[in-house]
C-alpha cells in the first residue's frame, strides 16, 4: 500500500500542476532543484549527509518511450522529477528574521546540536546506556562541527555560546515534495535556507567587564538584525546596546569584541562570506544568497529512522540489521561529564545541568562570575606589637583598629602589656581592591574607651596573596599579616587581570571523544561502515511506479531479496 504525504499547501502551490512530458521535452529538461535531497544517508553525530543512497532519485522515465513527469517552474521553466517524487511544490513565501539562542555551557550546545532532527530518531532502537553513564550520554550531534567548536572552547576557558540564525522556510523555489513508497512509513522533509553562527562568549571576561552573557547575546542579535526585519524586542534592545557600549568606553561593535565564531550555511552559495554581519555593509550578499537557492536548495530539517525500518517487517534481514546498528551505537557510546567543576556555587539549573549557579550579590552574578575587576576577599590576622609605650607608670593597655573602605574592625583590649599579641582574625568579606582604598591600622592605649591615646597609625596598599608587614609607631613596632584572595577568574597584583578558567587535564580526557554514532534518515539511509564492509545491505533502490500496490510490493521484495543475496 502506498502513502502520499503533502508537506505544505498554499494558494500559490495549488496552481502548480504536473503533466506527462514528451520524450523530447524530458530529454532536454533539467531536474527540479533539490530533486535528490531525499534518499541520502545521514549521520546524526556529525550532522552531515553521507553520500550513500537507498532511494532512487535518478530514474525519471515513467515509460519505455522516455516520457516523464514535468512541472512548470515559473522560476526555472519546465523541469522533471524522479519517478520516486510524486508531489512537488513552490511555496513562495519567505520572512527573514534573526533568531537567537543562548547556551550557558558547551554541554548545552552539544545537546541542542541535533535540533534540526524533528523526530525521536532513536525510535525503533534499543540502546541501553553504558556502565557508569549516570551523568549522561552524548548521542545525536555529538561530533558535529558546532559541537566540536563548543567542546574545544570549553577546554580553554569558561564559555557561554550564543547562536544567531536566519532561516527562510518556503523560498520561491521548488523545495517540498512527497515520496511515493510501497512501505507503511511516513516521510517528511523540510527544505529551506538557513545561516547559523555560534559565537563563543567568555562568560567570566564578559562579567568582569560589566556585561552579562544575556546582554552580549541580545546585542549580537541586534547587530545581526540590522539588515532584516526587527522584532519589537530587538528594537528595544538597540538603544540599550548603544548605551552599554558607550558606558564601557568601547568603540568596537559586539561582533568584533566577541569574534570567535563558527558559521554554517545550509542552502545557497555564499563563497565564505559572513552572511549575518558582512551583509550589512554589502546588501548584495543577501540578494545573491537568496537567488542562489533557486538552484542550490538544501535540507534543514529531518525525520530520522534507523535503516532497518525501511525494510518490510517480515523480511528476514530486519532483525540482524537492527542488531548491527544497535551494536555499532553501543560500541561507540561514551558517558559525558560536565566540562568544569564549580569553583563556587552549585549545579541546580534544570535547563542546563552543567551550569554553575550562585546567589547573586553586588560582587557575584547568578552564573558565579565576578561582577567586576578587583574583587577579592580580605582576611587580617596575626596582629601583635613590641615595645609599646603608652603609660608612664604602667604598661600599655593596647588595642588595634583595622579599617578597609567603610568597614572598621577593632580588637579587644590587652591590659598592662607592652608586647601584646591579639588573637582576632578579621574577615572583611568581598571587597574591591583599588588605589583609592588602603588597609589602615591604628594602635591605641586604652585607659578608658572614652579616653584613648593614639600610639601610631599606618596605611598600606593591598596586594593579592598572603602578605606580612610592620610599621613603626611613635613608640614601638606593630606587626600584621593578611591574605587577599582574588575572586574566581581574577588574578594579578590587585585582582585586575582576567585568568582563563582552563579545564583540568583529567576532564579534557573525558570530554573527547563524546560519541560516535550513525543513524539513518528515513529519507536517506547510510549503513555504518561495518555494515557496508559485510555487505549486509549494499543499496536498496525503492522506486515508485504507476503499477498497482501489489506489483509495487513485489518489485520491492525483489530488490530487497537481491540486496540480501549479496551478503
Cα of 384 vs its chain's centroid, Å:
54
Pairing relationship of beta strands 375-386 and 261-266 according to DSSP bridges: unpaired
Other beta carbons within 10 angstroms of residue 401's beta carbon come to: 16
pLDDT at 266: 73
Alpha-carbon gap, residue 562 to 114, rounded angstroms: 34
Segment of 323-327, 339-343, 445-449 carrying the highest mean pLDDT: 323-327
Task: Mention every residue, 6+ apart, whose C-beta is less than 8 A from residue 179.
Answer: 5, 38, 55, 84, 85, 86, 187, 189, 523, 544
Question: For residue range 204-262, what is the model confidence (pLDDT) as tens digits?
Answer: 667 667 777 788 888 888 888 776 666 666 777 888 888 887 776 766 788 777 777 77
pLDDT band at 382 (very low <50, low <70, confident <90, very high): very high
Task: Please report where in the chains the cell 519546465 appears, as a residue.
Answer: 78
513 preceded by a cis bond (ω within 30 of 0): yes
For the cut 80, the answer to whether the pLDDT of residue 433 exceeds it is: yes
User: What residue spans of 226-375 are helical by DSSP H?
Assistant: 232-248, 254-257, 275-278, 284-292, 317-331
The beta-carbon contacts of 466-470 under 8 Å, at least 24 apart in sequence, are: 468/382
Domains in the chain: boundaries: 89-340+506-552, 375-500
Question: For residue range 31-79, what is the model confidence (pLDDT) as tens digits?
Answer: 987 777 776 777 766 677 777 777 788 899 999 999 999 988 766 778 8
All three cell numbers of 506: 583529567
Task: Please report where in the chains the cell 585582582 appears, as a residue.
Answer: 495
For the cut 90, the answer to whether the pLDDT of residue 142 exceeds it is: no
Alpha-carbon gap, residue 141 to 207, rounded angstroms: 30
Question: For residue range 261-306, what is the model confidence (pLDDT) as tens digits?
Answer: 777 777 777 776 666 776 666 777 777 777 777 777 776 666 677 7
**161 burial type by CB count under 10 A (0-12 exposed, 13-18 middle, 19+ buried):** buried
Check: CB of residue 525 under 8 Å from CB of residue 41.
Answer: yes
Q: What is the CATH number of domain 375-500?
A: 2.60.40.150
Amino acid at each position: 500500500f502506498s502513502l502520499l504525504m503533502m508537506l505544505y499547501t498554499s494558494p500559490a502551490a495549488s496552481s502548480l500542476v504536473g503533466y506527462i512530458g514528451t520524450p523530447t521535452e524530458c530529454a532536454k529538461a533539467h531536474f527540479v532543484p533539490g530533486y535528490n535531497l531525499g534518499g541520502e544517508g545521514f549521520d546524526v553525530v556529525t550532522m552531515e549527509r553521507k553520500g550513500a543512497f537507498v532511494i532512487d532519485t535518478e530514474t525519471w522515465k515513467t515509460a519505455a518511450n522516455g516520457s516523464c513527469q514535468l512541472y512548470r517552474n515559473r522560476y526555472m521553466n519546465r523541469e522533471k522529477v524522479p519517478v520516486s517524487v510524486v508531489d512537488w511544490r513552490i511555496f513562495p513565501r519567505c520572512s527573514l528574521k534573526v533568531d537567537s539562542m543562548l547556551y550557558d555551557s558547551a554541554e548545552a550546545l552539544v545537546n541542542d546540536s541535533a535540533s534540526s532532527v524533528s523526530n525521536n530518531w532513536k525510535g525503533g532502537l534499543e540502546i541501553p546506556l553504558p556502565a557508569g553513564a549516570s551523568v549522561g550520554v552524548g548521542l545525536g550531534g555529538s561530533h558535529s562541527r558546532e559541537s566540536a567548536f563548543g567542546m574545544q572552547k570549553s577546554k580553554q576557558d569558561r564559555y557561554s555560546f550564543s547562536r544567531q540564525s536566519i532561516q527562510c522556510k518556503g523560498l520561491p523555489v521548488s523545495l517540498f515534495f512527497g515520496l511515493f513508497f510501497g512501505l507503511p512509513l511516513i516521510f517528511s522533509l523540510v527544505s529551506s535556507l538557513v545561516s547559523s553562527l555560534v559565537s563563543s562568549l567568555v562568560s567570566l571576561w564578559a562579567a568582569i567587564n560589566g556585561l552579562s552573557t544575556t546582554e552580549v547575546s541580545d546585542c549580537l542579535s541586534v547587530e545581526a538584525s540590522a539588515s532584516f526585519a526587527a522584532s519589537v524586542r530587538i528594537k528595544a534592545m538597540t538603544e540599550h546596546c548603544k548605551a552599554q557600549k558607550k558606558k564601557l568606553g568601547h568603540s568596537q561593535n559586539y561582533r568584533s569584541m566577541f569574534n570567535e565564531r563558527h558559521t554554517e550555511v545550509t542552502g545557497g552559495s555564499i563563497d565564505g562570506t559572513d552572511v549575518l554581519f558582512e551583509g550589512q555593509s554589502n546588501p548584495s550578499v543577501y540578494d545573491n544568497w537568496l537567488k542562489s537557492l533557486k538552484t542550490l536548495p538544501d535540507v534543514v530539517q529531518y525525520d530520522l529512522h534507523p535503516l532497518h525500518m525501511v525494510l518490510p517487517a517480515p523480511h528476514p534481514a530486519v532483525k540482524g540489521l537492527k542488531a548491527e546498528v544497535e551494536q555499532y551505537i553501543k560500541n561507540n557510546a561514551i558517558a559525558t561529564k560536565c566540562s568544569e567543576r564549580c569553583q563556587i556555587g552549585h549545579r541546580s539549573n534544570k535547563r542546563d545541568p552543567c551550569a554553575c549557579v550562585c546567589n547573586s550579590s553586588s560582587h557575584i552574578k547568578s552564573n558565579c562570575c565576578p561582577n567586576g575587576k578587583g574583587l577579592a576577599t580580605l582576611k587580617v590576622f596575626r596582629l601583635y606589637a613590641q615595645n609599646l609605650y603608652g603609660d608612664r607608670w604602667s604598661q600599655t593597655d593596647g588595642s588595634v583598629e583595622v579599617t578597609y573602605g567603610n568597614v572598621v574592625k577593632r580588637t579587644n583590649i590587652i591590659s598592662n602589656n607592652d608586647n601584646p599579641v591579639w588573637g582576632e582574625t578579621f574577615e572583611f568579606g568581598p571587597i574591591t581592591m583599588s588605589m583609592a582604598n588602603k588597609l589602615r591600622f591604628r594602635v591605641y592605649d586604652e585607659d578608658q574607651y572614652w579616653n584613648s591615646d593614639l600610639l601610631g597609625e599606618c596605611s598600606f596598599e593591598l596586594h593579592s596573596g598572603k602578605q606580612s608587614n610592620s610599621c613603626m609607631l611613635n613608640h614601638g613596632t606593630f606587626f600584621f599579616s593578611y591574605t587577599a584572595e582574588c575572586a574566581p577568574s581574577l588574578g594579578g597584583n590587585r585582582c585586575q587581570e582576567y585568568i582563563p578558567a582552563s579545564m583540568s587535564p583529567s576532564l579534557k580526557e573525558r570530554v573527547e571523544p563524546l560519541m560516535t554514532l550513525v543513524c539513518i534518515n528515513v529519507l536517506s539511509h547510510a549503513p555504518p561502515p561495518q555494515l557496508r564492509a559485510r555487505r549486509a545491505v549494499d543499496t536498496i533502490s525503492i522506486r515508485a511506479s504507476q503499477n498497482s500496490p501489489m506489483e509495487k510490493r513485489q518489485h520491492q521484495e525483489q530488490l530487497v531479496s537481491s540486496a540480501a543475496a549479496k551478503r
